[in-house]
């Protein structure tokens, strides 16, 4: 048994010329499950809740309270909550799905070689990058709406004096670094957890991987939380008309 680590998600099969990777395959099922689940929830919502509804309500209301605690109460929280909460719940579902045991054993022949059927959905950089892009686009749109297009542009391209020009350039780099760090944080953590688990399983199949499994479980929850909260924090920073805009670059 050789250790087969691939940075990219493995292609399972092709529909026409579209490569269907294992992450996209499972992304689709999780997506469908969440969609159908929300329809069912909408239909079965009652004023006097059952057990499942109670749990869902608790999760959503806790998430909403947390959102309000960071961005402040009112319309802002209501506007931004869907994006942040979806990121959290989706990433959490994806991450926890990877901990259903027995997945590593199932492989599929895609014509060229044997590839694993299951792969942690978030360890697909394309998906994470797109989610980050949604966040970044939202941040920029919020910033433009709040501060107006001209002062928004002025933040990055300021020819008043060399220092301000330099700081504006740094801001620009900071925005790009935001994309990189936000996306690679989630991808890196989950992928590293996968690789670590695989390596440990390869080296010592019994008992030794357990602590790493728990660590990975913690990482799965924490990274979902961190991704959503960073989105929230960035948006709340962009939504404030700030004087010290230079200081918030980076992260």
Q: Which residues bind other proteins (CB under 8 A)?
A: 6-9, 18-19, 21, 24, 27-28, 31, 34-35, 37-39, 41-42, 45, 47, 56-57, 60-61, 64, 66, 69, 81-83, 85-86, 89-90, 124-127, 129-131, 133-134, 177, 180-181, 184-185, 188, 222, 225-226, 229-230, 233, 250-251
CB 31 within 8 A of CB 97: no
Q: How far apart are CA 90 and CA 85, in angstroms?
A: 8
Identify which of residues 81 and 118 has a Cβ nearer to other proteins in the complex.
Answer: 81
Closer of 21 and 147 to other proteins (Cβ)? 21
* Token pair recorded at residue 194: 């996968």
d(CA 44, CA 118): 32
Q: Which is nearer to other proteins, 94 or 147 (CB)?
A: 94
Per-residue tokens: 30: 């999780």
Residue closer to other proteins (CB basis): 184 or 202: 184
Q: How many CB atoms lie within 10 A of CB 38?
A: 11
232 in Cβ contact with 142 (< 8 Å): no
Q: Residue 157 CB, nearest distance to other proteins (Å)?
A: 25
**Of 165 and 217, CB closest to other proteins:** 217
- Minimum Å distance from CB 24 to other proteins? 6
Q: Which helix (DSSP H) or strand (DSSP E) does residue 231 occupy?
A: helix 209-238
SS3 202: helix
- The CB-of-117 to other proteins minimum distance in angstroms stands at 16
């Amino acid at each position: 048994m050789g250790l087969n680590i691939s940075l990219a998600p493995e292609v399972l099969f092709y529909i026409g010329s579209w490569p269907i990777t294992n992450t996209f395959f499972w992304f689709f099922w999780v997506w469908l499950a969440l969609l159908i689940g929300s329809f069912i929830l909408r239909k079965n919502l009652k004023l006097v809740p059952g057990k499942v509804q109670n749990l869902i309500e608790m999760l959503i209301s806790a998430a909403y309270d947390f959102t309000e605690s960071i961005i402040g109460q009112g319309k802002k929280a209501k506007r931004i909550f869907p994006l942040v909460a979806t990121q959290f719940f989706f990433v959490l579902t994806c991450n926890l799905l990877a901990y259903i045991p027995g997945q590593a054993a199932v492989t599929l022949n895609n014509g060229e070689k044997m590839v694993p059927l299951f792969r942690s959905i978030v360890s697909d950089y394309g998906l994470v990058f797109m989610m980050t892009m949604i966040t970044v686009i939202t941040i920029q749109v919020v910033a433009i709406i709040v501060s107006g297009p001209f002062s928004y542009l002025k933040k990055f391209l300021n020819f008043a004096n060399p220092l301000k020009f330099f700081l504006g350039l740094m801001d620009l780099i900071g925005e790009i670094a935001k994309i990189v760090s936000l996306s690679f944080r989630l991808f890196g953590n989950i992928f590293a957890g996968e690789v670590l688990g695989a390596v440990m399983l390869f080296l010592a199949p019994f008992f030794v991987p357990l602590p790493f499994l728990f660590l990975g479980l913690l990482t799965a929850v924490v990274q979902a939380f961190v991704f959503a909260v960073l989105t929230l924090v960035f948006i709340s920073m962009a939504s404030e008309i700030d004087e010290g805009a230079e200081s918030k670059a980076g992260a």
